[in-house]
Chains A and B, each alone.
Chain A
Amino acid sequence: MKISYNFAFFDEGSKREIRRAALKAVAIPGYQVPFASREMPIARGWGTGGLQLTLSLIGKDDVIKVIDQGSDESVNAVNIKKLIKKTTGVEQTEKTSKASIIQSRHRIPEVPLNEEQILVLQVPIPEPLRLVEPSEYKTKRLHAENDYSGAWLMLFEQIMKYGSMSTGADHPVLVYGRYVMAPSPIPRFDNPKLTCSKALILLGAGREKKIYAVPPYTEVVSLAFDDYPFRVESFENKKCRICGATEVFMDEIIDEKTGMASYQCNDTSYCLKKLNNSADNQGGDISERI
């Protein structure tokens, strides 16, 4: 049986409506715009928010890159790529610099983005006040009245418990001096990449039916106290065991036999690119190092 899809899966009216919500999100940086999240052929919570944004924006000339926790080859990334390929036929790439739309879960690529690119982040919980205030009605009101004491309280509690801010990911940020935003579960390491980003950053939460955005060159500040400044994860004196990169976000690998920890780049395409470059320069065989 041959199944034919409309270009980019959705009908044109749906795409237009999602784009309209995205435009509003760009106009009000950090503000969560409600939208009618569609049923998708993947489960809610598996990146439907990001996928809807991608499909509403994509054109025939676009080049798409999908990453999941830094990897181009994870199951989630591959499935999303397959769906996009099947319904649009656009070119796919693993190279960050070549992509015009990058859909990502949990990471902002290591390679700096440019003005021609759009980064789409998948968001599980878009509301930064949710853990303090379960009521949507009340959180909307707190945003309207600029009362973010709840977001700060979460950080204060972490300091009281652990002696420092312990948000592993999704550290709340203040966008353009007005709205506090959940930057999706990106590590703290990626928070500074949000501020004055050259690329448009769109965030979509399918299950929670929200779209929000960080327009290019917008100031984004991670929340922190005067005496407990914001700090990113430190990889000082550590380098990638494959490509030798430093000052990038790395995964810690524990050798089961020896118990020794080693590190490797979390962004697989960055690691591969660096490896290829060094192999070209040195004329060696990269398979020996992987």
Chain B
Amino acid sequence: MKGFEKPVLEIKNLNKQFGKGCSDCCDINEKKLEKNYCPECGTVYACQDISFELYGGEILGVVGESGSGKSTMMKCLYFDQEVTKGEGYLSSYKDGLMNIFNESSQQKRYIRNHVLGKVYQNPMLGLKMNFSSIGNIAQKLIAAGYRSVRDMESRGIDLLNHVNIPVFRMKEPPKNFSGGMQQRVQIAKALSNNPPVLLLDEVTTGLDLSVQANVLDLIKKIQRELGISMIVVSHDLAVIRMLANRTIVMLDGRIIEKGLTDQILEDPQHPYTQQLVHSLLV
């Protein structure tokens, strides 16, 4: 019998709430809140029962309006925030047998340093702006266990070449760079430990169109050459169309539609997705 491909990352029923909840909203399945917050107690249900799989070499797009829970989901995946409940399995961590959200904080840091890479929307969150660009890359390598300066330097130079940062500027701090260059240094840093899964959170937001195109081309190139699985979050459907093989659409903390990107764009089923696709065509 032909076996099914095992996902690189599998998320099951991820929930994240801010607030304790009240009798009116605790059982959200029965009450079915209209929005993702409770008007009685103010609890925000940022992510509700998020489930998806990410396969090897795939780019999964996550699209939705501001406040739909995309970035919160990414923060939970990178352990920047604790999940309220849910399960996550990484095939490259303990053969995908352990729920990563239940691991100790030390193990979560190990996963961050060895298995995951993340590029933030705001480079200030992903980079140390006063340290050299190669130092930023080296920090991730040190965390992954490198102890040879020469090895780290040569790996850093390779990565900076890969993201088109001139090597003669490697000792400059990212604060001297343009927004696009800062994002490219972040990508180089995220790639430094050869992560099987790369998380990209609104990486082109705030960049002008030509720089956006450069960064998107770079992401495509990296995916093609290195075969890394990626989750790309964006509120811009054009970005998702260019990058993603499959797409999930989020609204009010829930996944309202998921499927192949072409299918979502050509034949959207949910009224919100239809509205989103329509806005792209206008």
Contacts and interface: CB of A to CB of B under 8 A. Distances in A.
Contacts of B109: 145-147
Interface stretch (A220-228, A243-251, A272-280): A220-228
Nearest to B150: A227
B106 A145 contact: yes
A132 B109 CA distance: 18
Interface stretch (B49-57, B62-70, B128-136, B207-215): B128-136
Contacts of B106: 144-146
A275 B50 CA distance: 78
A179 to B, nearest CB: 14
Contact of B142 (A156, A160, A228): A156
Contacts of A225: 147-149
Nearest to B140: A149
A151 to B, nearest CB: 9
A157 interface: yes
Given A145-B105, A147-B109, A160-B132, A227 B148 contact: yes
Q: Dominant SS at the B interface?
A: helix
Contact of A149 (B132, B134, B139): B139
B149 A228 contact: yes
Nearest to A157: B135
Q: Dominant SS at the A interface?
A: helix
B200 interface: no
A254 interface: no
A153 interface: yes
Interface in A185-235: 225-228
B224 interface: no
B143 A149 contact: yes
A60 interface: no
A161 interface: yes
Nearest to A147: B109
B142 A141 contact: no
B152 interface: yes
B169 interface: no
A156 to B, nearest CB: 5
A153 B150 contact: no
Nearest to B134: A160
B115 interface: no
B169 to A, nearest CB: 13
A157 B173 CA distance: 11
A159 B149 CA distance: 8
Contact of B149 (A145, A149, A156): A156
B6 interface: no
A34 interface: no
B103 to A, nearest CB: 12
B188 interface: no
A160 B133 CA distance: 11
A227 B152 CA distance: 11
Given A132-B131, A159-B149, 17 more contacts: A145-B106, A146-B106, A146-B109, A147-B143, A149-B139, A149-B142, A152-B142, A153-B131, A153-B138, A156-B135, A156-B138, A156-B152, A160-B132, A161-B171, A225-B148, A226-B147, A228-B149
Interface of B: 105-106, 109, 113, 128, 131-132, 134-135, 138-140, 142-143, 147-150, 152-153, 171
20 contacts: A132-B128, A132-B131, A146-B109, A147-B113, A150-B139, A153-B131, A153-B135, A153-B139, A153-B142, A156-B135, A156-B139, A157-B135, A160-B153, A161-B132, A161-B171, A225-B147, A226-B148, A227-B148, A227-B149, A227-B150
